Amino acid sequence: MLELLINAFITLVVVIDPIGVAAIFGALTQGTTDGYRRKMAYKGTVISAIILIIFTLSGYALLAALGIGLAAFRVAGGVLLFLLAIDMVLARDSGLRSTTVREQQEAEHKADISVFPLAIPLISGPGAITSMLLLTGPSSAQPFVTVLVMAVLLVVLLITLLSLLFAGRIMKLIGVTGSGVISRVLGVLLAALAVQFIFDGLQAAFS
């Protein structure tokens, strides 16, 4: 059980990337008031929690309705997370966990950035949704595991919220170079976890 909690924590921290989200949030809210930044940080984090919890509880029902098996989803999810890990290691932005250039340009002209791009795709993007489904499995089959992973999710989202609230101070402390180093190291860990998801899916498919 401890291994599951550690695995879930590492996976969600890497995929959501609180430091990286804080850096983008700081750029999007530059020149705004402290009150506005706090409001967007709280609202975006709460919306992200709701989105991820809903997908965790109903995602497998949707997969079942589409005729997609758990093994197939594990392989596909592992591949998606592996691509995300490559982006992190190579410091590339493909849109899996960040906004594209056109999305960021649109966000700069929005009065409310809590839903887009903060909640989606920065915090609760495809990688985070996939990770929650892979970590919990069908919620009806193992409700205790689902509750534990959701508790870990809330801890990671709390860390993310704190990163958003102190985005300016964090970036001054670690700088762009420090943020890049952290992202690359976490990307290697995510690559290993993604490969394990793929192996688990293949083993389940052929057993």
Domain boundaries, the chain: 2-206
Exposure pattern of 45-65 as b/e (b: 16+ CB <10 Å)? bebbbebbbebbbebbeebee
**For residues 170 and 107, what is the distance between their CA atoms, to the nearest angstrom?**
22
Give the global pTM.
Answer: 0.80
Integer Rg of the chain from CA: 17
What band does 44 get if pLDDT is binned at 50, 70 and 90? Answer: very high
Peptide bond into 121 cis (omega under 30): yes
- pLDDT tens figures, 46-69: 999 999 999 999 988 888 898 988
What band does 166 get if pLDDT is binned at 50, 70 and 90? Answer: very high
On the question of pLDDT at 103 being above 70, the answer is: no
On the question of pLDDT at 12 being above 90, the answer is: yes
